[in-house]
Chain A
Amino acid sequence: MAEKNQKLNRRAFVGDALRVAGAVGIVGTTAALAVRKKPSGKLVWQLDPNKCIACGNCATYCVLDESAVKCVHSFAMCGYCDLCTGYFRPEPISLDSGAENQLCPTGAIRRAFIEDPYYEYTIDQQLCIGCGKCVKGCSAFGNGSLYLQVQQDRCKNCNECAIAAACPSQAFCRVPLENPYLLKTQEQQG
């Protein structure tokens, strides 16, 4: 009887030891993977404006009804042009804010007169849907100061970003939470 108990205890001990070893193995492997290069915090999605071709997928592929990708404006790079090719459609009737002249489908860009011949263009984030029409116009004919970025307060940070999978130019990448934006700087011109 004592022998049987001993055998059972030994088997239980071996089983326990194996389980503990297994647990350590699981934790150890995943930890090793995590700290392989350097301990990484949370990664979030962002869009590289230099690769973006303003195809319009950002507005339609986001899992959210109101896309997390919206247009931002780099004022330092803007030419403040009278005829802004990101604001006006090609060959506008006149240079005013009439609906027949504007490129933005939701009227999210506001045009304000500063001094002759400069106008300032600001984006109303509530209205922007991230369709990229202004981005296309600005980067093709202007300075490229209007570009799309993932808004980190709206983005749900899905493990697989639906827009990233659909992006024709593979412009999406994961960036660390501490520096979640890929903003254009003036040095990138040219």
Chain B
Amino acid sequence: MRLRVLTIIALLSLPAFGALASERFPPPDFTSHTLPTTDVPSPWPELFEYLDLAALTIGLALASYLAIVRRSRRGLFLLTIASLAWLGFWRGGCICPIGAIQNVTLALFDSAYTLPWTVAAVFALPLVFTLFFGRTFCAALCPLGAMQELVALRPIRIPTWLDHTLGLLAYIYLGAGVIFAATGAGFVICRYDPFVGFFRHSASANMLVLGGCFLVGGIFIGRPYCRYLCPYGAILGLLSKVSKWHVKIPPDQCIQCRLCEEACPYGAIQEPTVALPTPQRRRGRWRLAAALTACPLLVVLGVVLGQRLEIPLSQMHSTFRLAERVYLEKSGKIEGTTDASDAFRNTGQADDDLYREAFSLSGKFRRVGGWFGGWVGLVIGLKLIHLVIRRRRADYQPDRAACVSCGRCFWYCPSEQTQQKGGNSLNILDRASV
């Protein structure tokens, strides 16, 4: 009864209410106004990637020719400048073969990631060329190497033992880059690339300072990144050891003047060895035996220690950090929330699912940490063996692994100067096969 009266009163005074929406506010129907379209800018065409690849291939061929056949330092230097300008400053120095290590690793371990074939080519091409011609990529193609070449104005000579020891850092960096890429924690090689900030004309302050330090350091230490840190350089060095052809100092006419040794800013020229007396040779054999036994022990030690690094390594991964944060907030051990933990809670995903994912990640890092530790152990063990084995050299020659084919030694060699001036064509290919 009462309701009926009220209904009539209410119906008579119906006000206009807010609209119900499946969107909150339904888009209006305009009669005379046309909606503008959402314009988004189109990307640079893929053509540029192919151009870069072509430039890289041509450059590699040219560099190999200039280094091994023509033996022209000037040619290599001009190619360096061209490469720095194009691949470095114009194309931003990305994607480079050094970073491509991580892309290839990610493609191996993450089935969700497809490796673009241009990236695969950028990774593989310098390796193939190095297998045949030595580290000509480093000589004139790599923009990072080019930057360091330009600033190597007053290089000091690093003692050989220090050079070799620091060179191991590159292998460790390679291992680290691979494991972080494989587990999806990120691309650390790209993150700490010192010169990419200059190539892109923009970077965070930290990266620019790092790059600046490398530049300033590079004035006095030749190619510091290439020799002691570059992970790709580590691989190239190994391949270059077994390359078919390599930059050589002409052995027939070597007069042992040692000018080239002084001239090489990177300490990559090895001097001839003296023969060892017999007692020292026997001691040398004992040393070799010791090194051979030490190597597997070092590997085992590395695996054990590497597995213990489970937590620090896991914390490099954002999912693990998120799980930690969510757990600490939930159990009240930490005050406040972060954007990430808020965003996680908004998704409505169960905490337990996140924890499970984080624990599986940390298990993965435990295994991967073991591999990394084993790799470092192996590298140190093999280096030890390498340091114990005697080599026999009769003349000055470039260290096949460390020589970046820059060609400075060509200019200083008096035999070379006479030969070239004298008109005898220097058939390097003949010599290289000896």
Contacts and interface: CB of A to CB of B under 8 A. Distances in A.
For B42, B128, B191, the residue with the greatest tally of chain A CB atoms inside 10 Å of its CB is B128
B99 to A, nearest CB: 5
Contacts of A152: 40-44
A190 B22 contact: yes
B338 interface: yes
Contact of B242 (A15, A30, A37): A15
Interface string A141-181: 11100000101111111111010010011100010010011
Interface in B211-255: 239, 242-244
B372 to A, nearest CB: 19
B127 interface: yes
Contact of B202 (A63, A141, A157): A63
B248 to A, nearest CB: 16
Contacts of B197: 63
B107 A44 contact: no
A74 B35 CA distance: 10
A115 interface: yes
A170 B433 CA distance: 55
Nearest to A149: B40
A183 B104 contact: no
A169 to B, nearest CB: 4
Nearest to B19: A79
B124 A30 contact: yes
B24 A63 contact: no
B99 A159 contact: yes
A146 B143 CA distance: 40
Interface residues of A, number: 71
B339 A55 contact: yes
Interface residues of B, number: 71
B430 interface: no
B114 A38 contact: yes
Contacts of B46: 41-42, 177
A77 B22 CA distance: 11
Contacts of A190: 22-23
B277 interface: no
B30 A76 contact: no
A77 B27 contact: yes
A8 to B, nearest CB: 8
Contacts of A154: 41
Nearest to A57: B339
A130 to B, nearest CB: 14
A33 B340 contact: no
B191 A160 contact: yes
A168 B343 contact: yes
Q: Is the interface of B mostly helix, strand, loop or mixed?
A: loop
Contacts of A34: 107, 114-117, 119-120
A76 B23 CA distance: 12
A118 B94 contact: no
A72 interface: yes
Nearest to A75: B35
A133 interface: no
A42 B116 contact: yes
Contact of B114 (A22, A26, A36, A44): A36
Given A42-B49, A80-B28, A149-B40, A53 B342 contact: yes
Contact of A151 (B24, B41, B115, B239): B41
Interface in A26-80: 26-27, 30-31, 33-44, 51, 53, 55, 57, 63-65, 72-80
B30 A114 contact: yes
B38 A30 contact: no
Given A26-B124, A159-B102, A165-B186, A76 B118 contact: no
A159 B24 contact: no
A38 B115 CA distance: 10
A6 interface: no
B203 interface: yes
Contacts of B107: 33-34, 36
Contacts of A189: 22-23
A160 B187 contact: yes
Given A19-B132, A23-B127, 16 more contacts: A23-B128, A44-B43, A63-B204, A79-B21, A79-B28, A143-B23, A151-B41, A152-B40, A156-B200, A158-B94, A162-B204, A168-B339, A168-B343, A169-B347, A180-B43, A190-B22
29 contacts: A15-B242, A22-B239, A26-B128, A27-B124, A30-B104, A30-B124, A31-B117, A33-B115, A34-B116, A40-B114, A41-B46, A53-B342, A53-B346, A63-B197, A63-B202, A72-B38, A73-B38, A76-B38, A77-B27, A79-B28, A80-B27, A115-B33, A118-B30, A120-B36, A142-B25, A152-B43, A159-B95, A159-B187, A183-B38
